[in-house]
Amino acid sequence: MTDVSGTARGAATSLPVITAEVRTDGTGEITVDGVLDRFERSDLAEAGAEVTSRVAELAARLGRPLRMEVRDPDGLWELLVHPDGRVDQAPPAGTSPAVPGSSAVPGSSAAPPVPPAPAAPAPSGSLPTLEDLTATRRSERREPARRGWRHGLALATFGAIRPGPGRAERRERAAVRSVRRSLDGPRTIVVVNPKGGAHKTTAVMLLAATFGLQRGGYTLAWDNNETHGTLGWRATPAEHDRTAVDLLRSMPVMAASGMVRVGDLDAYVRTQPMEQFDVLASDENAASVASVDAESYRSLHRLLSQFYRVLVIDTGNNMRASNWRAAVDSADQLVIVSTVREDTAQSAAWALDALRAAGHEDAVRRAVTILSAPAPTVDKDLQRRLRAHFGALTRAVVDVPYEPGLVGGGRIAYSKLRPETRAAWLQATATVAEGL
């Protein structure tokens, strides 16, 4: 390993040129006056701390702060590293860092700065108000980075420099704001594709989980299959096995009591405690001949909309079923889901054609399409074709990656999904939320 602190030994008149690069996997490199040294640490934050500590050693040897350029996954940073290890953002190019103890920038003829005059008292008619106070509160968009090497730099410098978030973190924060946006009433999201295996139920669960986690509950995932669906099987079990059919049968008794409370629904929904949303399953009795029709759906929807801010509806495969049509009629946002496969994509395209022919052209135009990768590698040509087709019909097309944890068809454990999967579904949910 090269001794960076000795690279510019004896340099009294010129400062070393220092550049560095750090990567997400913890690898990095630092170049001092053309001498390259590579290193490897456990993550991006440690790689950033390694760079700053090496340059601080060199600054201490030379007795003055040093400039360096650091490239990370989000771009280029110009920093000023002091002999005592403090790190600041570098001054504009062409200026020299101040030597400790000096009263002005070396080589500058500028006079010492004059302290500003105290502000004049505000006129009595323009005294600050509570609104003025809250307007000066630090915006979340301007908060320092909370992860990656930028966050590591803040830790390494004990807060002396707190870089803003990188591109990926800014995008995540924007998505969170979209999901948390205020709603002026309950909103219904209806997920459709008349073919089985199109990832409808997966989409319903992950949309509801993301809304629940970001909004703090009051989200329902509802299996509106006229007979039997699988949403209940993909959820965390409850202490009961009651379903939408049982809730329908109990509604007259609830109505007779004169008041229905949110706690009354606990006997029918299945709480997902980790993700903070509820699941209403479809009929799971193999011997049952009950079915949900349009009027049943509308009755349930009226009741559930009193207690949930966001309802995410899983639909069956029969577009001619009256409860399927009733769900679409109630939708504030349609979500079209498909895997990147010819069969599920053709089914989704056929559904859009049918919806437009039935008078739902505006709902289709405002819809969001989610394309899910069915395998670790996808047909790129087919993916481009699908993005072009659905992009011309719907408001947005969002891609979500293949996730090994979802392949088995069992219970969906959100916390066990890969970070890139959760990040993709956050972006998908934000896109959906923007239409509410």
With a cut of 50, say whether residue 207 has pLDDT above it. Answer: yes
Q: Are residues 288 and 398 in the same domain?
A: yes
Q: Are residues 308 and 185 in the same domain?
A: yes
Question: Which range has the worst mean pLDDT, 62-76, 115-129, 304-318?
Answer: 115-129
Whether the Cβ atoms of residue 386 and residue 371 lie closer than 8 Å to each other: yes
At 26, is the pLDDT very low, low, confident or very high (cuts 50, 70, 90)?
A: confident
Q: Are residues 184 and 327 in the same domain?
A: yes
Q: Are residues 396 and 254 in the same domain?
A: yes
Q: Where are the alpha helices (DSSP H) in 230-337?
A: 231-234, 244-256, 294-304, 322-330
336 is a domain residue: yes
Question: Which range has the worst mean pLDDT, 91-100, 117-126, 128-137?
Answer: 117-126
At 196, is the pLDDT very low, low, confident or very high (cuts 50, 70, 90)?
A: confident
CATH code (residue 298): 3.40.50.300
With a cut of 90, say whether residue 12 has pLDDT above it. Answer: no
Which residue segment(s) compose the domain that 271 sits in? 176-433
Q: Residue range 312-340: average pLDDT?
A: 95
73 is a domain residue: yes
312 is a domain residue: yes
Q: Are residues 87 and 191 in the same domain?
A: no
Report the pLDDT value the prediction gives residue 13, as an integer from 0 to 100: 52
Q: Are residues 181 and 159 in the same domain?
A: no
Q: How many domains is the chain partitioned into structurally?
A: 2
Q: How far is Cα 331 from Cα 195, in angstroms, rounded to an integer?
A: 20
Q: Is 191 left (phi over 0), alpha (psi -120 to 50) or beta?
A: beta
Which domain-ending residue is among 133, 165, 197?
165
Q: Are residues 160 and 182 in the same domain?
A: no
Which tens digits make up the pLDDT trace of 360-388? 999 999 999 999 999 999 999 999 999 99
Q: What is the DSSP letter of 368?
A: E
Report the pLDDT value the prediction gives residue 78, as an integer from 0 to 100: 83
Whether the Cβ atoms of residue 150 and residue 166 lie closer than 8 Å to each other: yes
